[in-house]
């Protein structure tokens, strides 16, 4: 399941993964929020939390996640991944160069810092 984080600064979308994340979770929560931000002309600044409650991604969810790369590069601002899952953090760090925006990894204890960073204007190339 993916649940929305509330009380975030304007221009920041936030989500928390709980249990097993499936393709339908993307389709019902994350994708519509990203599409709405794009339609409004906003940069997508995303905070995504994979905390203790997170168990795994299904193959369908991984496919949905990969499809986010199909969004136009200009729409992305910043992505803050918040996790204490070492392997996930290392994988994302290793492929961060593939993302069309700034990506930073934060510990779960630094969620507030992740939100503040995502809310800042991204550095233009």
In this prediction the pTM is 0.87
Domain count, the chain: 1
CATH number of the domain where residue 104 is located: 3.40.50.10600
Average pLDDT of the segment spanning 43-56: 93
Residue 13 covered by a domain: yes
Residue 28 covered by a domain: yes
Average pLDDT of the segment spanning 12-22: 95
Q: What is the pLDDT of residue 122?
A: 62
**Segments of the chain assigned E as strands:** 2-4, 12-21, 44-57, 76-83, 102-106
Residue 125 covered by a domain: no
Query: In 40-85, where does DSSP find H-type helix?
Result: 59-67
Note the pLDDT tens digit of each residue in 59-102: 887 777 776 766 777 888 999 999 999 888 888 888 887 788 89
How far, in whole angstroms, is CA 15 from its chain's centroid? Answer: 7
Average pLDDT of the segment spanning 34-52: 92
User: Which range of residues forms the domain containing residue 105?
Assistant: 2-119
């Amino acid at each position: 399941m993916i649940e929305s984080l509330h009380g975030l600064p304007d221009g920041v979308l936030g989500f928390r993964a709980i249990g097993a994340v499936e393709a339908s979770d993307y389709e019902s929560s994350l994708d519509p929020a990203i599409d709405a931000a794009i339609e409004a002309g906003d940069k997508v600044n995303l905070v995504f939390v994979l905390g203790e409650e997170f168990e795994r991604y299904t193959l369908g969810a991984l496919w949905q996640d990969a499809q986010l790369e199909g969004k136009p590069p200009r729409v992305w601002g910043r992505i803050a991944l918040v996790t204490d899952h070492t392997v996930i953090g290392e994988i994302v760090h290793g492929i961060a160069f593939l993302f069309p925006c700034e990506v930073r990894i934060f510990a779960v204890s630094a969620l507030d810092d992740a939100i503040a960073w995502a809310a800042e204007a991204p550095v233009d190339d």
